[in-house]
Amino acid sequence: MKLSQFKFNLPESLIANNPAEQRDEARLMVLHKDSGKIEHKIFKDVLGYFDDQDVMILNNTKVFPARLYGNKEKTGATIEVFLLRELNKELRLWDVLVDPARKIRVGNKLYFGDDDLLVAEVVDNTTSRGRTIRFLFEGTDEEFRRNVEILGETPLPKYIKRKATAEDKERYQTIFAKHEGAVAAPTAGLHFSRELMKRLELKGINFAEVTLHVGLGTFRTVEVEDLTKHKMDSEQFIIEQKDANIVNRALEEKRKICAVGTTSMRAIESAVSANRTLKSANDWTSKFIFPPYDFSIANSMITNFHTPESTLLMMVSAFGGYENVMNAYEVAVKEKYKFYSYGDAMLII
């Protein structure tokens, strides 16, 4: 398939700048993939589509406050540093993006916080905006993390046209987040409230957890018309045996298995055994899913509404059927559903 087949007109007013007042009261579009039928619901109505012993697969990654603002030595210019991933814990080496990049060269020192709580030195260039930096910090890892927590901002995506607030610290995080390492939230999971989780549990729904640390590569724009030539960035994922067992039992019993979010789907599709069951893993994946694609594990999925020409829209189209999904998106625009991280949700069943 071609990139241009995933174009659609998305008015800027439909990009959500704030979350729904209550997590589970965002709107929910239900798309039936066999018939293409569409229903309009509220997210907590998801309860009505699953039964005893069905499984939901959740991504339990935790977003860390990845956006820091520092000053360049000598000039004092303000620099935004976006922490992507830790390369070496002992040496405190990090992969980062810097802005404005033209001002940041190897050897420059950056100072963070009023009393220089953290200081970093640029040690390498990686891409046009990418740098490797080393934090010059003598304390323990715990103290270092605490300082990042004090200085860092919730890494709201750039298209949310406002500064991150204290509320975002809680709302741009799923209630089941456990393992720190993501620079963006697995957004389909943001709709689950504690009350809804309890009600799903009481109904007999089982939860399996996976960890996929969302990197910025998930949102990297596709710049090639021929999709086979697009390369995804690698993201680390972990699937424990006990969670694989929950999923495999449901597979055997032909239950509904729902991947909550494109990140959960990407993780499980990166760990399929030769006999098409889920295996435990601790690995990196650069899997790019676009139509046509034969899914092995999940038979339903919950996802947000994604932007035109994104790899996320491509995966959803592969799962729900290209025509079905593009038609559903047309309906979503007409019905003024909210798009992207803080937007509304879609259940494909």
Q: Which of 280, 272, 288 is nearest to 243 (CA)?
A: 280
Same domain, 33 and 116: no
Question: Could you tell me how many residues make up the chain?
Answer: 349
Residue 165 within any structural domain of the chain: no
- Structural domain span for residue 232: 3-63+170-348
Residue 149 within any structural domain of the chain: yes
- End-of-domain residue from the set 107, 123, 153: 153
Same domain, 33 and 107: no
Tens-level pLDDT at each residue, the chain (349 residues) = 999 999 999 999 999 999 999 999 999 999 999 999 999 999 999 999 999 999 999 999 999 888 999 999 878 889 999 998 899 989 999 999 998 888 888 999 999 998 888 999 999 988 778 899 999 998 898 999 999 999 999 999 888 888 899 899 999 999 999 999 998 999 999 999 999 999 999 999 999 999 999 987 777 789 999 999 999 988 999 999 999 999 999 999 999 999 999 999 999 999 999 999 999 999 999 999 999 999 999 999 999 999 999 999 999 999 999 999 999 999 999 999 999 999 999 999 9
Predicted confidence at residue 266, as pLDDT, reads 97
Same domain, 9 and 93: no
CA 220/CA 201 separation, integer angstroms? 36
Determine how many CB atoms are found less than 10 A away from the CB of residue 243: 23
Residue 283 within any structural domain of the chain: yes
Predicted confidence at residue 40, as pLDDT, reads 98
Same domain, 219 and 78: no
Same domain, 9 and 85: no
Domain total of the chain: 2
Predicted confidence at residue 255, as pLDDT, reads 98
Residue 261 within any structural domain of the chain: yes
Same domain, 225 and 331: yes
Alpha-carbon radius of gyration of the chain: 21
Same domain, 227 and 253: yes
Q: Residues with Cβ < 8 Å from 230, sequence gap 6 or more? A: 222, 223, 224, 288, 311
CA 254/CA 299 separation, integer angstroms? 10
Predicted confidence at residue 4, as pLDDT, reads 97
Residue 161 within any structural domain of the chain: no
**Local structure of 149: helix, strand or coil:** helix
CA 108/CA 88 separation, integer angstroms? 20
Q: Which of 177, 346, 326 is nearest to 261 (CA)?
A: 346
- End-of-domain residue from the set 118, 153, 188: 153
Predicted confidence at residue 101, as pLDDT, reads 85
Same domain, 227 and 324: yes
- End-of-domain residue from the set 100, 122, 153: 153
Residue 163 within any structural domain of the chain: no
Residue 241 within any structural domain of the chain: yes
Same domain, 149 and 177: no
Q: Is 347 left (phi over 0), alpha (psi -120 to 50) or beta?
A: beta
Same domain, 45 and 87: no
Residue 271 within any structural domain of the chain: yes
Same domain, 192 and 327: yes
The domain that holds 333 is classified in CATH as 3.40.1780.10
Q: 156 φ, ψ to 5°? A: -60, 140
Same domain, 303 and 336: yes
Residue with tokens 């605490």: 146
The domain that holds 114 is classified in CATH as 2.40.10.240
CA 30/CA 44 separation, integer angstroms? 12
Asked whether 169 and 154 are in contact (CB, 8 A), the reply is yes
Tell me the pTM: 0.92
